Structure 1
């Protein structure tokens, strides 16, 4: 089985290499110049451009024809089963492009017996990345392609997301939070915590200060975690790796979780909407 994902899965390069995942890049446009997310520009480089006065980036989904190219390459490499996991259709057109690419491939290759399944993950960032890694884990355990597809489709909305930010301006620009709420938050040092609802980001809590945010994450993880299916946990960040390490330490010290915890930086396509100071956590809830 060949695993694929669009670049918003935000998986680290060492995981992408180890799991042999093909990453289909979104386009990031900064002041008229197009970059391939993760390939032509890094998250740190993007924020350096912002600090130097560049305008905030806009993003574009991969084209259906690009998906076809990735499908065809996988088949040339000998794969007969392809599982492609995309960012939520509520926040990106990536899934729609993937489905159009799948349709185009079979229109051009009507005799093909290759199995291609494209997933609307209903997730953002490492949420879809979590599903990619879980799919690889299930394959290594000997599960069939059909069983893995069934698991992903039936469990994808149980991947729990938490995201908090320091700088609210990027969420305002992307329409994720109102300007009035942002002003109040800035004055009171209140940090919104977002999750996914019906495939879109929504504010689910507000905490005052970073320490309260970390406590909220750990408390919610302890209450919600599906200990059977959460065999690993993902923590994401945009600019401050230390706060991600602080969350990891707190989880290890204050919960019974003993699985692997991966810390990964968000890619540019996601970070442009999140902004600096972003901290996220992903696991499967009961």
Structure 2
């Protein structure tokens, strides 16, 4: 069997793609009233306002890595995870990789959502095409580095509470009623553009996507409880980038949703 690709549930990959390319997805955790629930496995609450999140344990990752190694018949595993600056998953993955008997190559995508998903998917396609462990690893690194992730949220306090942006930035944005456009830089979420209204933020978000996209870029639009806003955003991007590949549209799952809050929209641009 070819090299097996492992990722985590922040990847936002379509389940059909996961099954087609045999990608192993490790659940992230949502903690509700002291109970630790697994994203994509356990039933999660609709209201995420009071939950906290965590990554998988080294033991969970070690079990999945070991099973993937067995299934690869010794060809190895490439594990592509969300940014180490956004989650403790990377550190747990490093510990887990040292405990299994076989080659596990780790990739810090420095990203999340489809910024991670595109990297895992393209790596899995390379594996299916017969690429060896180094080639699959390098493919994941290349695709992850080419991804640009942009985000607009209704309120900054969700990101502040989870420690994903600084308190000073969050408080300043709240005091000035800002609707900033944020983006991931080297795995960290930072301010890209300042705007005063959601309408202006959406316009600026589309401008940023156009600036980042190559003619044949892969594009994914994400949202949390904002399907109409995401649909309009998708239409605006398609109008500005008529030659782009099909734009994927999906809702963020619980872990990412808990951090960005309802009303958030984001775009991932993966340049070829």
Normalised by the length of structure 2, the TM-score is 0.87
Contact 1:185 1:191 in 2 (8 A): no
Q: CA RMSD in A?
A: 2.3
Contact 1:130–1:234 (CA under 8 A) maintained in structure 2:
no
> In the alignment, what sits opposite 2:42?
40
State which of 207, 216, 221 in structure 2 corresponds to 1:235: 221
Could you say which residue in structure 2 is the equivalent of 1:111?
Answer: none
Partners of 2:153 and 2:263 within 8 A in 1:
yes
- Aligned: 1:100 with 2:95: yes
| Residue aligning to 1:215 | 203
- Greater Cα shift, 258-267 or 139-148: 139-148
Could you state the TM-score of these two structures normalised by the residue count of structure 1? 0.84
CA distance in 2, matches of 1:261, 1:143: 27
Asked if 1:198 is matched to 2:186, the reply is: yes
8 Å contact kept, 1:130–1:282: no
TM superposition outliers: structure 1 runs of 4+ over 6 Å: none
Correspondence for 1:53: none
Counterpart of 1:226 in 2: which secondary structure?
Answer: coil
Q: Is the 8 A contact 2:158 2:258 kept in 1?
A: yes
Q: For 1:246 and 1:2, locate their aligned partners in 2 and report how far apart those are by CA, in whole Å.
A: 37
Output the CA distance in 2 between the equivalents of 1:134 and 1:208.
Answer: 38
SS in 1 for 2:86: coil
CA distance in 1, matches of 2:239, 2:130: 33
Distance in 2 (alpha carbons) for counterparts of 1:144 and 1:221:
33
- Residue 239 of structure 2 aligns with which residue? 253
**Number of residue pairs matched?**
266
5+ unaligned residues in a row in structure 1: which ranges?
Answer: 51-55, 107-113
Shifted more, 136-145 versus 73-82: the winner is: 136-145
Instruction: For 2:128 and 2:246, locate their aligned partners in 1 and report how far apart those are by CA, in whole Å.
Output: 17
In 2: Cα distance, 1:207 partner to 1:285 partner: 26
1:162 partnered with 2:162 = no
Q: What is the SS of the residue equivalent to 2:194?
A: strand
Alignment partner of 2:55 out of 37, 52, 61: 61
> Shift of residue 142 of structure 1?
5.4
* Structure 1 CA distance for aligned equivalents of residues 224 and 20 of structure 2: 23
Structure 2: 5+ residue stretches without partners: none
By how many angstroms is 1:143 displaced?
4.3
Corresponding residue of 2:140: 152
